[in-house]
Amino acid sequence: MTKYNMLSAPDFMPVERLRDIQNRKFLAAFRRAYENVAWYRELLAQHQVDPSSIKSLADISKLPFIKKTDLRDTYPNGMLATSMDKIIRYHASSGTTGKPIVVPYTREDLDVWAECVSRCLTAFGLDENDVLQVGYGYGLFTGGLGLHDGGERRRCTVVPVSGGNTERHLMFIRDLNVTAIACTPSYFLHIIDHAQKIGFNWKDTKLKVGIFGAEPWTEEMRQFIESETGITAFDIYGLTEISGPGVGGECSSHAGVHIFEDHFYPEIVDPDTLEPLPDGESGELVFTTLDKTGMPLIRYRTRDITKIIAEPCACGRTIRRIGRISHRSDDMMIIRGVNVFPGQVESALLAVDPGLVNYQIHLSKGDAGLDVIEVKVELTREKFSELGDNTTSLEIFRRLIAEKLKSTVGINFKTTLVEPDAMPRSQGKIKRIYDNRNQ
Ligand code: ADP
Ligand code: ZN
């Protein structure tokens, strides 16, 4: 335990003690929501739940779920569980459709959040000797300020570059002896790409850790990032509604994301029947905030699809893990009856050539009214200089990709190659899916 600071001690507590704490906190959180949020009282009344029947965490399955649309419908302050004088910050989810979801934070909420990010940083092997460069956007998006506060809490030296300004990112990584960078995986791809263009040598830096999250990414992407730069890439997970990044993070085993379940109680439910599923089974991740005072959420449906891994982890942490988010339920594409996830496309492309990291998925209606799925793939500069003027070789390469996509996913893809640098780069969350089926 001496290796870890006191803040990370809850990661290692005996499971029975953790369950006791969760139980106690859950009852208080439920009471807080019930007593302070009129909307929540109505929800329980609608579902005919008698609040006095909630006596322990085991009763949680009697409670209704809170959905993303509920947060939109109660915009902006309908879920507030405290008086405004206690609220010291708002964030908003980056959702692009309709009204944003705004989340109010009290001092205690920000403290818990910073503590969780700090516990992630400890798990990534970082301490006061590290220099953490934050490449998530600062602002309403939780990425920037979340990593910033957590970095300071861990006593790292924080370099708040924010998203964009790739040239400056590289300059500071080198000049300020940055040891860890936090940004979206897609933005880091852009940084890698730019480094390659300007002849930046990663070996001339002290960078050792990458902290990537806020969007899905694959094991193949991890391998690409690590082999290009020599750093170790860690997954960090979170969502604004629950606090922000750092609801969970990987440890050095890289075998799932540990959830800080002393603060955020996770469940997996069947997304159709909403029945709770046992650990190990895939379904929708649901969270109950155990400590939040600004906007406590009881059984909030994240729409993220994953499973809980309850087996002990090699790192010794007793808090449970979740598997990689395979997809958001909104991102699953049903093409001619087959379920398609963007991650499958990414895995297939990177299996053909680890540099095929720039791609887009376009959906449209074909002649017979059937769905057409097209993958546009940007050639790497090496591949382009190798094959660029040879149409036969290009066609062979294109077919190789199309076949890999078909064997991975089980359906035919229209596959199109585009020249290097033809696709827009991401500074934050990247848009991969373009759905034109209703146009
Ligand atoms: P929005 O829902 O508008 O994107 P957030 O910025 O709060 O709002 O993003 C949270 C969502 O981002 C999560 O629900 C999840 O879908 C995705 N996400 C965050 N971290 C990860 C991660 N490490 N892997 C996969 N998806 C992630
Ligand atoms: Zn672990």
pLDDT at 117 over 90: yes
What's the CA-to-centroid distance between 252 and ligand 2, angstroms? Answer: 7
Q: Which atom of ligand 1 is nearest to the CA of 241?
A: 7
Give residue 36 CA to ligand 2 midpoint distance, Å: 37
Query: For a pLDDT cut of 90, what percent of the chain falls above it?
Result: 92
How does residue 2 score in pLDDT terms, banded at 50, 70 and 90?
very low
Q: Could you tell me the pLDDT band of residue 94, with boundaries at 50, 70 and 90?
A: low
What is the SS3 assignment for 78?
Answer: coil
pLDDT single digits (tens) 232-289: 999 999 999 999 999 999 999 999 999 999 999 999 999 999 999 999 999 999 999 9
- pLDDT tens-place string over residues 19-64: 999 999 999 999 999 999 999 999 999 999 999 999 999 999 999 9
pLDDT band for position 165 (cuts 50, 70, 90): very high
Give the distance (Å) from ligand 2 centre to CA of residue 314.
Answer: 6
pLDDT of residue 12: 96
pLDDT on residue 97: 57
Alpha-carbon distance values, 405 to 97, 363, 400 (Å): 30, 15, 9
C-alpha span between 224 and 220 (Å, rounded): 6
- pLDDT, mean of residues 331-338: 91
CA-derived radius of gyration, the chain: 23
Query: Tokens for 394?
Result: 């290009």
Average predicted confidence (pLDDT) for the chain: 95
Atom of ligand 1 nearest to the CA of 143: 6
Ion ligand 2, residue ranges at CB < 5 A: 251, 253, 313, 315, 317
Residue nearest to atom 10 of ligand 1 (CA): 239
Which bound ligand lies closest to the C-alpha atom of 317?
Answer: 2
The CA-atom distances, in angstroms, between 428 and each of 74, 90, 209, 419 are 27, 20, 19, 23
Using pLDDT thresholds of 50, 70 and 90, give the confidence band for residue 107: very high
Residue 293 neighbours by CB under 8 Å, 6+ apart: 32, 81, 82, 86, 106, 108, 109
**If DSSP codes are grouped into helix, strand and coil, which group holds residue 103?**
strand
Q: Name the pLDDT band for 368 (thresholds 50, 70, 90).
A: confident
State pLDDT tens for residues 411-429: 999 999 999 999 999 999 9
Residue 1 has pLDDT above 50, yes or no: no
For the stretch 290-329, pLDDT in tens is: 999 999 999 999 999 999 999 999 999 999 999 999 889 8
